[in-house]
Structure 1
Amino acid sequence: PLALLLLSQFVLFVGVGAVIPTIPLYGKAIGLSSAANGVVVSAPAVALLLGANAGGKFADVARKPAMIGGMALIALSDLGTAFAPDLTALVAARLGLGAGRCVSEAGERGMLCDLAGRIPAMRGRALAAQQAAVALGIAIGAPLGGRVVEQYGPRASFLCVTAAALAALVIYAFLPETTTTTTAAASGRAAPFKDGTAEVEAEMIAPAEAVAVRTGGNDTDSSSSSAAAAADWSDLLSDRRWRALALCQCGASFGFAAKIASVPVLAASVLPGGA
């Protein structure tokens, strides 16, 4: 299952890599101002922010349906981007992309954690393998996307990512559902650690456990389920480590978005031939 998940991520991010150098150029090609271009680039992030909590709760119930449904919406949104006639349709399509991502990515990351948690000693390597698959996909997809844009225009790159999303969706269909094993993996995850890691993990999930206590449930499994359902961002962010992690992720995402919006336009203006 882990190999299939990594394969799906690689295929998907070949397509994502194809559109990374395209989005600002696409906006420029259809006459958008720099400000409007920024709106288009940021639209998926806005939808992701608004829907992430709900997407995460859905993915906690069932990983696979979240992944498949979210990826179907991503494919439809990228297809809509390719054929958007104006700014309104383009922003709507990009908002749809963010909505699909908030569900699909929650399922993907949840499944990755489930699979990696089966062998706690290799958890870091499993997560690193996913990052390597993503990086390789982007590294291959970006120059391919540049070539596609040169030959067929900016819209064609969005057809490429649509095809990649559909291919990832097909691979997802062959993955097993992992939520049935999550509870057992979570209940035993502290056991292998002898160096204080278990205590740190216990402290970091303490807010969720506090919610379970407030529900008043007596059954262990019932309390765990209630805690998982009731815990939300306010509980997580009550821990300073979660706040620090969220702040770091915001900073990294801010820089990444700024580069996506500006680097392709800058390259097109200074490189020979505008390529």
Structure 2
Amino acid sequence: MADLETRELEYFVALAEELHFGHAAARLAIAQPALSKAVRRLESRLGAKLLERSSRHVALTPAGEALLHHGRHALNSIAVAAEKARRAGDQQPHLRLVIKPGGDADLLSGILAAYARRPDARQVDILFGGATDRADHVRDGRADVALLYAPFDDMTGLDHETLSVEGRVAILPPDHRLASRTELSLADLAQETLPRWKGVRWTGAPEGREGPTVTDAAEALQMIRLGRTIALLPRSLAQPMHPDLVYRPVTDAPNSELVLAWSHTDRRPLVAAFVAAAVEAAGDAPATA
């Protein structure tokens, strides 16, 4: 059997995700007959039927499911290899930092200033990631370093330095039964409806009633204003405070940490210099209670 071609795999993955020849062809910017021909050729090469087709329906066979799963990983590995090779050959490398908008606990300006004072400083490109995908940016090579929150972000495959430690606050509607209290405990929140954070496995929050699924703090605040849930967030992520909501410290909630993370295999001086500057800039900052 001949080796698979990258383009064939790209065509199949697009079709498997869309399950519609017309939509997949438009996504790939090719003619629909060319896509159909490529998929038939791929099935012939593999000796396996990948799709069940009818005039109104496209579905994956077990072989198609397997190729989609592994094909995604293969295409991602190719993209990562190409990016790493390109950057390794860059004569004036930039450092790429991925952050969540507002997720720097007001430390980023100081970190960038400390790094700029170093004689080996390079340009820093700021990338913005979502609530739960910033670690993936580092793992797959899109970014060199990331500002993450522990224990919320997945640190698998990453090394990190803690830059700040802070307490957490409960965010409540003003008419909530706990809004009149000056501070709260985890026990107070045990029976409350709490959001489920997409992509986050553990938040240190008590087991309450399952609330709406949210992807970031902005979505959580909207649901709190609608009275659908309350939330428990690191203090810095609750800033700026919304005037229509109540914020109360939760005295026994596990602290959260803002960390600077990088791949555990990355030993480049470029990254080490930025990490050192970040630790220097954050070293004198007091922990947030």
**TM (normalized to structure 1)?**
0.22
More strand by share: 2
Q: Does 1 or 2 have the higher relative contact order (CA < 8 Å, sep 6+)?
A: 1
Q: Give the structure-2-normalised TM-score.
A: 0.21
Higher relative helix content: 1
